[in-house]
Amino acid sequence: MDDTVRITRRGLLRAGLLGSALLWAGGQIGCGGRHAASRPAAGSGERQALTPAGEAILGAVIPVVLGSLLPGDEKERRRVLAIGLDTIDRYLAFLPEALQREAGDAFATLDLLPARVLLVGTWRPWSETPPATVAAFLRSARSSRFDLVRRIFVFLQSLAVLAWFDQRAAWPAIGYPGPPVERTSANWSLE
Amino acid sequence: MSARTILTGNTLDTDRVLEGDVAIIGSGAGGAISADVLARAGLRVVVVEEGAYRTPADFVPREIPAFAELYVEGGVRLTRDGSIGVVQGRTVGGSTAVNWTSSFRTPEPTLRYWREVLGITGLSAAELAPWFELIEKRLHIAPWETPNPNNQLLARGAAKLGWHHGPIRRNVSGCANLGYCGLGCPTGAKQSMDVTAIPDALDHGAVLVTRVRADRLRLRADRVTAVECLALDERGVKPTGRRVTLRAPWVIAAGAAINTPGLLLRSDVPDPHRLVGKRTFLQTHNYSLAFMPEIVDPFFGAQQSVYVDEFTWRDGVDGRAGFNMEAAGAQPVVSMHAWNGIGTELADFARRLPHLHTLVSQIRDGFAPDSRGGEVRLRGDGSPVLDYPITDFVWDGVRRSYLAMAECQFAAGAESVHPACSDARAYRSWAEARREIGTLRLRPLNVYLNSTHPLGGCPMGPDPRTAVVGIDCRHHHLANLAVIDGSIVPTSLGVNPSLTIYALAARAATGLAERIGGAGAAGASPG
Ligand SMILES: Cc1cc2nc3c(=O)[nH]c(=O)nc-3n(C[C@H](O)[C@H](O)[C@H](O)COP(=O)(O)OP(=O)(O)OC[C@H]3O[C@@H](n4cnc5c(N)ncnc54)[C@H](O)[C@@H]3O)c2cc1C
């Protein structure tokens, strides 16, 4: 009883602060910060829409959402995660520019220290956040009483689903034999 | 048959002005049927389409490429608060190129409501019958007699419970029963607009311009003087800077619900009663997931071939929310998308995919006095977004349809049933499901909701105070504009909408052809 009350209060406080933090961050990004924050990853020459912040956040979130569905072998795991991020990048690149910006802004905001501290409960950058912490964040976000926080959860979770289940490597474990017709595509690797 | 004229917006290197008798915006159900009817009547037709032109051989049977390339906003056009994903096509053929082929005539109670409450005359079942027959023949619409396991289970559950159900008719010819309709039919069996009405219109001299977005209607007095379009890049995302201007004495807006109201709002089309964009209906879809002891393989076979309409009209046409029920099995991304699992829960769920049985209910809106649908607004960049508040009316429909779907799935032999709601869990028996769903917390984002049936926003009707276009689909305030697409439908339907839109389009375009007086204008009339 005591615990629930405390958690709820803390949740409330967090979300209240979070709301302000997001507003603040959104404003920052909106007025000029956006260009730096929302531009596709510079290093990975081929990125068309996925930002470095997005890449870092999804890099932490996807393995946690997919859990044991991902291959155990480290090299194979890295390969399929890279395909997943490529898929998300291409997918985002087909969205209207306003939505690409919205996704970039959402990632930029989630990557800011206040959001990490308030939502995820850690000072560490996403790439160094332990999976257990990310899992706890995702669970609490899913059942949050705040629509905005649940919206963040749905956004991240559905990108993880999108990154994985259309990959050949995903299919044996889930009993999907793959499509009955094979085609090639200029825009997609279709791995 | 003359050579087909198709221009690709992304490769244009100069601005273009195109002239014709009729300019049509959008190549989906309404636009393509209109183009075909008018071109056959001897009129010079120009069709502009935001999407690209794909042939059956181009369709890649993979989910992400298909959603990205063939759908509006990646297949998930979120309502303003993010709680409902509206699913629409954006390719030559529009949503018909990616739809699931379920074909229903407009139900009697819907037509009666239109007549008795909205004053819409001339659209009785008998008056529409010839138009339905015309389309049914044209698109090979016939009952599908070999349901896949997903649909057999729906029929089994409904039969056990004594619920009214029947086989769905589909617009296919030589269908190989692959079950990839949503990704663009790879064999060309689906009689969607991209392989039927559009090629026929092209063969009758229509001009098609792809990867071009109609941005604004230019107006003078009570007329549209031009349609200003932006050429888009190869992905259909960024304007290339090239402009295409359409000049024609008649203009047909056929960009579908949400987009057509968006175009009219952007263009400041006269709207003295502030109707444009309002009364947009979604027939909101919600989902129930079950695991069956037998193999279902939901990713194979025609997705929808059995319907249940036991609850569609039970509480009266304008009583509490009615809903129909259909199967909704699909490939892995769509199958997994309905449920927000994390880690082990997601993995356990996914590993049982071959046993997954998915049902969908579509919650009829727009009839009850407190069911007013949503409203299309414009974002800062002029693009439309739908604000659709989920009212208690809708939530009540969600709860009762969760109950009905769970009851049906248990009757069909389910081992467990899980409403597609992250505040729910798997139930082991109908008794448990009934108890738990009765008090289940229903809130935005945690209940998985979407809609492949957005309708309305430019409703037809005789009275300019309540309708944007007349029953002949001509705009009430602009003399040479017609709207012929799902946005004219004044309520949701209680069934999947394509056949209604095809028939209304054939009727309206034939009327227009007669009015304009093209050579052989009556040629498209039925019978
Ligand atoms: C996945 C899916 C499954 C479905 N399943 C079924 C089913 O089984 N049975 C059924 O009856 N119905 C089904 N539907 C719905 C049905 O296909 C639609 O209701 C119908 O096609 C709508 O017709 P429309 O003319 O209003 O628009 P659409 O067919 O959607 O066509 C509109 C076209 O206009 C283009 N456009 C829009 N704005 C512009 C602009 N400004 N400039 C240029 N072009 C523009 C769009 O790109 C699009 O191609 C489904 C839909 C989807 C998406």
pLDDT digits (tens, 9 = 90+) for B340-366: 999 999 999 999 999 999 999 999 999
At residue B215, φ and ψ (nearest 5 deg) are -95, -45
3-state secondary structure of A79: helix
**CA nearest B312: which of B449, B433, B163?**
B163
Which DSSP helix (H) or strand (E) runs through A66? helix A52-66
Distance from residue B144's CA to the centre of ligand 1 (Å) = 22
Rounded Cα distance, A157 and A145, in Å: 18
Q: Over the Cα atoms of chain A, what is R_g? A: 18
Record the tokens describing residue B81, joined without a space: 């608060």
Q: For residue A41, give the nearest of A24, A20, A56, A63 by alpha carbon.
A: A56
| pLDDT(A22) > 70 | no
Of B202, B213, B328, B219, nearest to B260 (Cα)? Answer: B213
- pLDDT exceeds cutoff 50 at A31: no
- For chain A, the domain total comes to 1
Q: How confident is the model at residue B102 (pLDDT cuts 50, 70, 90)?
A: very high
Contact list, A168 vs chain B (CB under 8 Å): none
* Predicted local distance difference test score (pLDDT) of residue B3: 84
A142 in a domain, yes or no? yes
- Please report residues of B whose CB lies closer than 8 A to that of A155: 82
Please check the confidence at residue B229 and state whether its pLDDT lies above 60.
yes
Mutating which of B10, B83, B340 best tests the A interface, going by the most A Cβ atoms within 10 A?
Answer: B340
3-state class of A38 per DSSP? Answer: helix
Residue located via tokens 């108890």? B435
pLDDT in tens, B286-324: 999 999 999 999 999 999 999 999 999 999 999 999 999
Report DSSP state, residue B340. Answer: -
Amino acid in the structure at residue B487: S
A179 is a domain residue: no
**CA-based nearest residue in chain A for residue B351:** A174
Other Cβ atoms within 10 Å of A29 Cβ, number: 21
- Residue B93 above 50 pLDDT? yes
User: Which of B116, B34, B56, B91 is CA-nearest to residue B512?
Assistant: B34
For residue A25, pLDDT over 70 is answered with no
Q: Within an 8 Å CB–CB cutoff, is residue B64 touching chain A?
A: yes
- Positive or negative, the CA dihedral B330, B334, B336, B337 is negative
**Is residue A23 in some structural domain?**
no
- In B173-251, which ranges are continuous DSSP H helix? 197-203
DSSP single-letter state for residue B474: B
Average pLDDT over residues A165-191: 95
How many residues does this entry show for chain B?
Answer: 527
Which of A61, A70, A153, A161 to mutate against chain B (most B CBs within 10 Å)? A161
Three-state DSSP class for A145?
coil
**Nearest CA of chain A to the CA of B492: how many Å?**
27
What is the SS3 assignment for B468? coil
Q: Do B63 and A170 touch (CB under 8 A)?
A: no
The structure tokens 């996704």 sit at A103
Taking only the tens place, the pLDDT of each residue in A80-123 is 999 999 999 999 999 999 999 999 999 999 999 999 999 999 99
At B221 the pLDDT is 95
Of B186, B340, B344, the CB nearest to A157: B340
What's the token pair of residue B340? 């927000």
Sheet holding B16-19, edge to edge: B16-19, B239-247, B223-232, B212-220
Query: In the sheet that B250-253 helps form, which strands lie side by side, from edge to edge?
Result: B5-8, B207-210, B45-48, B22-25, B250-253, B481-483
Average pLDDT over residues B208-222: 98
Residue of A nearest to B178 (CA): A180
Strands B239-247 and B223-232, how do they pair?
Answer: antiparallel
Q: Which of B53, B360, B333, B426 is nearest to B209 (CA)?
A: B53
pLDDT value of position B495: 98
Alpha-helical (H) ranges within A69-146 are 74-93, 97-110, 113-115, 131-142
Give the span between the Cα atoms of B356 and B298, in whole angstroms: 7
| Alpha-helical runs (H) found in B352-493 | 392-411, 430-439
- Secondary structure (3-state) at B379: coil
Check whether B192 has a pLDDT greater than 80. yes
For residue B146, what is the enclosing H or E element?
none
Q: β-strand B22-25 against B375-378: which pairing, if any?
A: unpaired
- In the three-class reduction of DSSP (H, G, I as helix; E, B as strand; rest coil), residue B413 is classed as coil
Q: Give me the domain span that covers residue A93.
A: 50-170
- At residue B460, the pLDDT reads 98
pLDDT at B499 over 70: yes
Per-residue pLDDT, A7: 37
CA B14-B18-B21 angle, to 5 degrees, is: 175
Run of H or E including A22: helix A2-28
- Among protein residues, the one whose CA lies closest to atom 53 of ligand 1: B88
Q: Where does the pLDDT of residue A21 fall: very low under 50, low under 70, confident under 90, or very high at 90 and above?
A: very low
Q: How far is the CA of B90 from the centre of ligand 1 (A)?
A: 7
Look at the block and give the residue holding tokens 């029920």: B325
Residue B55 three-state SS: coil
pLDDT at B526 (0 to 100): 44
**Is A165 contained in some domain?**
yes
- Say yes or no: A179 contacts chain B, CB-CB below 8 A: yes
The predicted model gives B389-412 an average pLDDT of: 98
Radius of gyration of chain B from Cα atoms?
22
Interface test with A, best of B86, B211, B346, B425 (most A CBs within 10 A): B346
Residue B484 has pLDDT above 50, yes or no: yes
User: d(Cα B428, Cα B414) in Å, to the nearest integer?
Assistant: 8
Cα B134 to Cα B388: distance, rounded to the nearest angstrom: 35
Question: Would you place residue B54 in the very low, low, confident or very high pLDDT band (cuts 50, 70, 90)?
Answer: very high
Minimum distance, in Å, between the CA of residue A2 and any CA atom of chain B = 23
Question: Taking a C-beta distance cutoff of 8 angstroms, is the pair A94, B381 a contact?
Answer: no
First-to-last alpha carbon distance for chain B, in angstroms, is 24
A135 and B446 in contact by Cβ < 8 A?
Answer: no
Under 8 Å between Cβ of B247 and B218: no
At residue A46, the pLDDT reads 80
> Which residues does chain A have within 8 Å of residue B425's beta carbon, measured at their own beta carbons?
none
Mean pLDDT of A113-136: 96
On whether the CB atoms of residues A81 and A63 are closer than 8 A, the answer is: yes
| Pair of tokens at residue A154 | 């749905």
**pLDDT band per the 50, 70, 90 thresholds, residue A33:** very low
Give the nearest ligand 1 atom to B229 CA. 42
Assigned token pair, A174: 């889930």
Task: Give the pLDDT score at B2.
Answer: 63
Residues of B with Cβ-Cβ distance to A185 under 8 angstroms: 60, 62, 65
Q: How many CB atoms lie within 10 A of CB B521?
A: 21
* pLDDT grade for B439, boundaries at 50, 70 and 90: very high
Is A45 among the domain residues? no
Cα nearest neighbour of B232 on chain A: A96
Q: How far apart are CA B432 and CA B417, in angstroms?
A: 10
- Nearest Cα residue in chain B from A70: B347
Token readout for B220 is 């003078």
Q: What dihedral do alpha carbons B41, B46, B48, B54 form, nearest 10°?
A: 70
Write out pLDDT tens, residues B36-51.
999 999 999 999 999 9
Closest of A88, A81, A77 to residue A40, by C-alpha: A88
- Phi, psi (rounded to 5 degrees) for B290: -135, 155
Chain A nearest-CA distance from B244, in A, is 20
What integer pLDDT is reported at residue B518 of this predicted model? 56
Global ipTM: 0.95
Longest dimension (CA), chain B: 67
State whether the Cα torsion B229-B234-B235-B237 is positive or negative.
Answer: negative
pLDDT confidence tier of residue A37, bands split at 50, 70 and 90: very low
Q: So what's the pLDDT on residue B163?
A: 98
- Is residue A141, in this structure, part of any structural domain at all? yes
Residues 6+ apart with CB under 8 A from A5: none
Give CA–CA dist A49/A100, Å, rounded.
7
Atom number of ligand 1 nearest to Cα B103: 11
Please, which pLDDT band fits residue A45 given cuts at 50, 70 and 90? low
User: Is 90 exceeded by the pLDDT of residue A14?
Assistant: no
Ligand 1 binding pocket, CB closer than 6 Å: B 25-31, 48-51, 87-91, 94-96, 98-103, 182, 213-214, 254-256, 259, 263, 304, 452-453, 485-486, 496-499, 501
Determine the Cα–Cα distance for residues A55 and A40; give it in Å rounded to an integer.
9
What does DSSP assign to residue B33? Answer: H
When pLDDT is cut at 50, 70 and 90, the band that residue A28 belongs to is very low
Does B382 reach chain A within 8 Å, measured CB to CB? Answer: no
Q: Is residue A27 part of a domain?
A: no
- For residue A92, give both structure tokens: 């985002």
pLDDT, one tens digit per residue, over B242-261 is 999 999 999 999 999 999 99
Q: How many Cα atoms occupy the beta-carbon half-sphere of A159 within 13 Å?
A: 28
Residue A19 counted as domain residue: no
Task: Identify the three-state secondary structure at position B378.
Answer: strand
Could you tell me the pLDDT band of residue B517, with boundaries at 50, 70 and 90? confident
| Alpha carbon distance B183, B186 (integer Å) | 8
Q: How confident is the prediction for chain B on average, in pLDDT?
A: 96
